[in-house]
A and B are shown apart, each in its own frame.
Chain A
Amino acid sequence: MSSDQQQAEIPPLTEGIAPGTATDPPVGSEAAATVTVDGTEVALDAGSTLLDALDRIETDDYVPALCHYGRQEIGPRSECRTCMVDTEEYGIVPACSFPARDGMTVRTAAREAAEARDVNLDLVLSDHNLRCTTCGKNGRCELQDASIENEVEEPRYGVLDDRDEYEPLDDSSPFIQIDRNKCILCNRCVESCNDVQVEGVLRIEGTGKDTRIGFQNGAETMDESTCVSCGHCVTVCPTGALVEKGIEDATTIPLPGFTQKNSIGKTYEHSTQAKAPMTPKKQDEQTETVDSESRTTDSETVDVDVWDDASGGGEWP
C-alpha cells in the first residue's frame, strides 16, 4: 500500500470522540452590529454575542455569566443562565449565546432578567459543596467571585451539604484531583479535552440530577481512564472540581483536622500498581471485540502500528 492511500484511509482524530453534548449552531452575529446596552451604544464586529457588548461597558447591573469562558473557542455552553438580560426585541435572553443583532436594545437591570440571574446563581449553589475553607480554589474560584459580586448572603435553596449525597472524591490520578461535588457542569473541561486537546477522555454523562462529568471509556476513576494528564481541564475549571495534585490544599484555611480530602465521605485512592504509559482512547477502541476479561491486559499490548493493517484501517468505528 502506498503511503498516499494509507493517508486517505485514516479517519480524522475526532472520529471516535463522543463527548455526549449537543452540536450547537454558531451563535455569533452574522454581521457587524451596533447595539444599545443600558443606554450606551456599542459597535461590534461580526461573530459577536450580546455578552461581548456587555463586556465593553459598565453595565447597570452585575451580570455573572458564570459558565462563560470565551477563549480557545471553548463555549458558550450557556448552561448556568446567569447572563440573562432583557431585550426589547426578543424578551429575556442569555447574553453569552445570543447573537448581537443590529439595533438591539439591552437592559441588564430589568426586573425579570435580574431575578433570573439571581435565582439561577442560587440554583448553581444549591448543588455545590460550599466548603470553601477546605477547598484548594478558595480565593481563586469563579463561583465564589460571582457569589460575592452578586451579594449572595444566604442562597435561596441552600447548598449541597449532605455527606450521604456526596460523590466520592477521585484522587486516583497522580496529577489531577476530581471533586464532582464542586462541579457546575460548565463543560469547559470536556471541550478542552475533546475540541482543543483532541484526547477524547472526558464526557458529560447521565441526565437530570444525575448529570456528571465522566470518562468516554466508561471508567469510574481518572486512573482507569485514558487521560494523558495534559492538565488543560484543570486550567479551565472555574471551581475546585478539577485541581492539580499537590496544590489541592494550597488555599485551605488551616483548621486542625479539616482538609479537602476528609471534607467528603469517600475517596478513590491512587492504586499503587505500576501502570504502563496511558494510551489514548483511540488505541483502546481497537480491542473492543475482545471480551471484557482479557481487555485490560490486551489494551497494553495492542499493536500500536495498526495503520499498517489495511483491514484495520478501514474498520474504524
Chain B
Amino acid sequence: MTSIIPNQKPVIRVSESGFRRSVPERGADQGVTVTAVGSTGLPAVEPLVTVTQAGETALYTQCSPADVEAIIDALEAAGGDVDDAADRAKKTPEAVVDHEPTATRLPTAGVPGLDTRARSVLGGCGWRRPTNPADYEAAAGFEPPDPEAVLELGASLRGRGWGDLCHDAPLAETWETVRGAAGSPVVVVNGHGTTADTLLLESAPFEVLDGAVALARTVEADSVIVYASAADDRAVDTVREAAANYPELPVGVDVVTGPPEYRAAEPTMALEAIEGNHRLEARLRPPGPEEVGLHGQPTLIHTPRTLAHLAVGLREGELPGTRLLTVTGDVDATATVELPADDTLADGLDAVDLNGRFKAARVGGRFGGLTSDLDVAVDPESLAAADLGTEGSVHVLAEDRCLVEFVGKTATFAAEENCGRCVPCREGTTQLAGLLRDIYDGSYAPEKIDELVRVMSTSSICEFGVQAGRPVRTALSEFEAEFEAHADGHCPAGSCLDPLEA
C-alpha cells in the first residue's frame, strides 16, 4: 500500500465519524486521490474535507456528498492547485493552511475547535487512513522500541480513565510487578465505553496497537487483547483491520467485545467479560490483575488513551504532556479535543457551542464532580484537588437544568447499573436515590447523605461504588441552596417540581 503522507500529488480526505457514507474513493492514478479517513473528534465540523497538495491544505467543514463531488471536480479543473480549486468550488474553505509537505498530522490552524495548542495523540485522526500501515509508517510508526525507554516513559506516564488499571497513577511500578510475576503476561487494551478511547480505536488504531505492542515486548507478554463494547461496531471493525494490517506483529492480537453496559469497562469486569462469564461483577483485590489477572496470568489493563500517549512518547522521545477532553451535554455536538495539561476545562469548552447559558458541568465521567467553576487545569492533581473526576470529560448543564434532578438520575443509574456484588454499592446507591427522592417530600438530611456517600467510597470493592456518590457530594457542597429549595417545595430551575404538581 502506498502512503498518502508525502502529499506530492493532490489528495482529498473525507473525515467523519460513524460509518462512512459513500466516499468516492479514487487512487492516485486518476490524478486526484480521494480517500476516507477517521473522525477528527469534532463531529460538528464533519464531514470535513481537506484538499492537500505540496504543503498546502484547504479545510472545508460540514460538507454534503454533493459538496464533496463539487470539491473533487473543482480540484480536477484547477489541475490540482489548492487555491485555484478553492476559488472554483462553490463552497468556501474554513481555512487554508501552509505546512510541511510531509506533515504527518492534520493541519488545524484556523478551524475553531480543532485549533487547540496541542494535537499530537490525536494528530493522525482525520489525516492518516486509520488502517493503512503505509500512512502510519510515514509518521515514523512501527519502530521496535527499547524496553528501557518504555520503562523510563512509564515512570512518569499516568493511566487514563477508570478503565485503566493504573488510573491516574504512574505505570512503571505496575509494569515491573508484571515482569517479576510468575506466568505468561497479557496486555489488555480496554477500549470500552469512553468517547476518546473509541475515537482512537476508530481514527488512530495504530497508535494504540503500537503502544500495546511496545508494552508487550517490554513485559514479555504473549498476547495483546483489545477489548471494546459490542455497541462500538466501527471501533471494533477498525482495530481488527488495523491488527490484521500491522506489519510483522511480534505478539498475537485478539479483538474481543463485551456487553455495552457502563460497568463492563471496570478493569476486572473487563477480564470477566474476556473470559466469557455471562454475568459481570468486580473481582476482589489485592492481589490485583497485575499479579493474578486474565485466566490467572499477570495482566496489564490500559486504555487506548494511555497506550497512544506511550506510542507518541516513544516516537518523539518525550511524552506529549497533553490530556484528551470530551465535551458533551448541552452542546451542539460532542467534541473530543487534546489540550496541554496546563490548559483549563474552560479552554476545552472553546471547541463547542453551548445550548443555552452555562450553569454547571459534571467533570470527569458519569460519576464526575459538579461545579460551576471551569477555571481548573485538566491535569489529574488539579482536578482531584477540586473533587472533580479525571475521566477526561465535561458534561455541560445549561441554565434551565435542575441539579437535584440531575444527581438524582445519576444515583438511580448507579442503583440500576451496578454489578450487585458489594453492599455499599448495591444497597448504598439504592438508599442514596431514596434519600434524594425524600427531598421532594420535604425531608432533606444532608448529614445522612454525606455519611452514606463517604461509606460507599471507603468500602466499595471497585471504582464504580467508590465514585458513584461524587455527583451528589459535589453538588451538595456547591449548590446546597437548590436542595434546600426543593425541600421547601420549589425548583429554582423550574424544571422538575411543576410536572409533579400538575
Q: Are B459 and A124 touching (Cβ within 8 A)?
A: no
Q: Are B283 and A24 touching (Cβ within 8 A)?
A: yes
The smallest C-beta distance from B197 to any residue of chain A, in angstroms, reads 23
Cα A203 to Cα B281 in complex, Å, equals 13
The smallest C-beta distance from B394 to any residue of chain A, in angstroms, reads 27
Q: Are A23 and B426 touching (Cβ within 8 A)?
A: no
Q: Are B284 and A25 touching (Cβ within 8 A)?
A: yes
Q: Are B455 and A185 touching (Cβ within 8 A)?
A: no
Given the known inter-chain contacts A22-B421, A81-B424, A99-B286, please indicate yes or no for A123 contacting B458, CB distance below 8 A. no
Partner of A123, one of B268, B431, B448: B431
Given the known inter-chain contacts A208-B417, A208-B429, please indicate yes or no for A97 contacting B284, CB distance below 8 A. yes
- Give every chain B residue within 8 A of A82 (Cβ-Cβ): 423
| Segment at the A interface, from B38-46, B271-279, B302-310, B327-335 | B271-279
Chain B interface mostly helix, strand, loop or mixed?
helix
* Max chain A C-beta neighbours (<10 A), residue from B281, B286, B428, B455: B455
Q: Are A22 and B272 touching (Cβ within 8 A)?
A: yes
Partner of A84, one of B263, B429, B459: B459
Cα A127 to Cα B420 in complex, Å, equals 13
In the complex, the chain B residue whose C-beta lies closest to that of A211 is: B420
- Give every chain A residue within 8 A of B291 (Cβ-Cβ): 25
Cα A18 to Cα B279 in complex, Å, equals 9
- Give every chain A residue within 8 A of B428 (Cβ-Cβ): 119, 123
Q: In this assembly, does B318 line the interface, its C-beta being within 8 Å of a C-beta of chain A?
A: no
Q: Are B451 and A24 touching (Cβ within 8 A)?
A: no
Q: Are B292 and A25 touching (Cβ within 8 A)?
A: yes
> In chain B between 235 and 284, which residues have their CB closer than 8 angstroms to a CB of chain A?
263, 268-269, 272, 275, 277-284
Cα A34 to Cα B431 in complex, Å, equals 39
- Give every chain B residue within 8 A of A123 (Cβ-Cβ): 423-424, 427-428, 431
Cα A134 to Cα B482 in complex, Å, equals 44
The smallest C-beta distance from A83 to any residue of chain B, in angstroms, reads 10
Q: In this assembly, does B418 line the interface, its C-beta being within 8 Å of a C-beta of chain A?
A: yes
Q: Are B283 and A205 touching (Cβ within 8 A)?
A: no
Given the known inter-chain contacts A18-B278, A207-B417, A208-B417, please indicate yes or no for A79 contacting B272, CB distance below 8 A. no
Q: Are B284 and A209 touching (Cβ within 8 A)?
A: no
- Give every chain B residue within 8 A of A92 (Cβ-Cβ): 458-459
Q: In this assembly, does A149 line the interface, its C-beta being within 8 Å of a C-beta of chain B?
A: no
Partner of B420, one of A116, A120, A206: A206
Contact with B along A136-180 (1 / 0, CB 8 A): 000000000000000000001100000000000000000000000
> In chain A between 202 and 258, which residues have their CB closer than 8 angstroms to a CB of chain B?
203-211
Q: Can you name 19 A-B residue pairings with CB atoms under 8 Å?
A: A18-B278, A23-B275, A23-B277, A25-B285, A25-B291, A80-B423, A81-B459, A98-B286, A119-B455, A123-B424, A123-B427, A123-B428, A123-B431, A127-B427, A207-B417, A208-B429, A209-B415, A209-B420, A210-B420
Counting from the closest, the 10 A-B pairs by CB-CB distance are A211-B420, A25-B292, A20-B279, A123-B427, A119-B455, A81-B459, A116-B459, A22-B283, A24-B284, A207-B420
**Chain A interface (Cβ < 8 Å from any Cβ of B):** 18, 20-27, 76, 78-82, 84, 91-92, 94, 97-99, 112, 115-116, 119-120, 123-124, 126-127, 156-157, 185, 203-211
